[in-house]
């Protein structure tokens, strides 16, 4: 029985990834920060439709001091639920978005993006990889904005670029254990990004869809399929890559 940890698994891309893994018979520990009810609903859906066990654990990526307790909780559940001391896959998907122009940027905003999208995932991975199975796999969610220059996303895009670069470095360091590390870069995706910006402002969808060669923005499942496949043995000869999954956005 394979086990995956998916951060930010209560909605959007993380939810779609957790459900996709469940369909393949992979058990899931998913994390949430604010939406416990949504996370528990994902757990129920996985267990009902896939017949594998799933759990939801609270995790705030900005609070590094809480990681030790989170790791102890993961280890406890691995033993009690699956009679294991290790897990197989990690999806670093948890993160936040939302624009802020450079001229208006606050230190609070900068630190929140930094800690949630970059510092938090790095130090969480450091703690988790110690009991990941050799020949496991990690997928990091970055963003196509690292290669673009939309106003208001200077911090978000540059930190996603840093996360992409870190992916290559950690792939090198974990190679002796045969652990593969890759990333996916979603383009505009109809998820909960920016606190559900597309649901609040559906008028944003059309101009972004027109920038894609396929005439639409992405759905969480579009991204999740790539993540799930990158974790699989079908991609056992692929590491240190960042794959853009944007439907040809701005091609």
Residues with catalytic annotation?
A: 156
The C-alpha atoms of residue 227 and residue 203 are separated, in whole angstroms, by 29
- Compute the CA torsion angle 63, 67, 93, 24 (nearest 10 deg): -150
Residue 183 tokens, joined? 């990333």
Residue 42, sorted as left (phi over 0), alpha (psi -120 to 50) or beta, turns out to be alpha
Neighbours of 68 (CB within 10 A): 10
Starting at the earlier edge strand, list the strands of the sheet with 54-58. Answer: 54-58, 27-32, 3-6, 87-92, 132-141, 180-186, 242-245
Residue 164 tokens, joined? 């992409």
Residue 166, sorted as left (phi over 0), alpha (psi -120 to 50) or beta, turns out to be alpha
Nearest to 155 by CA among 192, 117, 193: 117
């Amino acid at each position: 029985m394979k086990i995956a940890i998916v951060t930010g698994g209560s909605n959007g891309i993380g939810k779609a990834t957790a459900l996709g893994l469940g369909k393949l018979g992979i058990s899931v520990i998913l994390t949430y920060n604010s939406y416990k009810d949504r996370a528990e609903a994902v757990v129920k859906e996985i267990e009902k439709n896939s017949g594998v066990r799933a759990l939801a654990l609270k995790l705030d990526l900005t609070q590094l001091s809480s990681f030790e307790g989170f790791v102890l909780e993961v280890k406890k559940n691995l033993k009690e639920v699956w009679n294991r001391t290790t897990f197989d896959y990690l999806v670093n998907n948890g993160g936040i978005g939302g624009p802020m122009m450079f001229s208006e940027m606050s230190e609070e905003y900068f630190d929140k993006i930094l800690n949630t999208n970059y510092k938090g995932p790095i130090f969480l991975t450091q703690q988790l990889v110690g009991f990941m199975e050799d020949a496991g796999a990690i997928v990091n969610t970055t963003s196509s904005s690292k290669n673009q220059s939309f106003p208001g996303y200077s911090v978000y895009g540059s930190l996603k670029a840093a996360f992409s670069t870190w992916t290559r470095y950690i792939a090198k360091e974990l190679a002796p254990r045969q652990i593969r590390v890759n990333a996916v870069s979603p383009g505009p995706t109809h998820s909960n990004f920016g606190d559900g910006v597309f649901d609040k402002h559906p008028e944003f969808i059309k101009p972004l869809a027109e920038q894609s060669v396929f005439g639409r923005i992405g759905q969480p499942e579009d991204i999740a399929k790539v993540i799930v496949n990158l974790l699989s043995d079908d991609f056992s000869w692929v590491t240190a890559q960042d794959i853009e999954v944007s439907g040809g956005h701005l091609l």
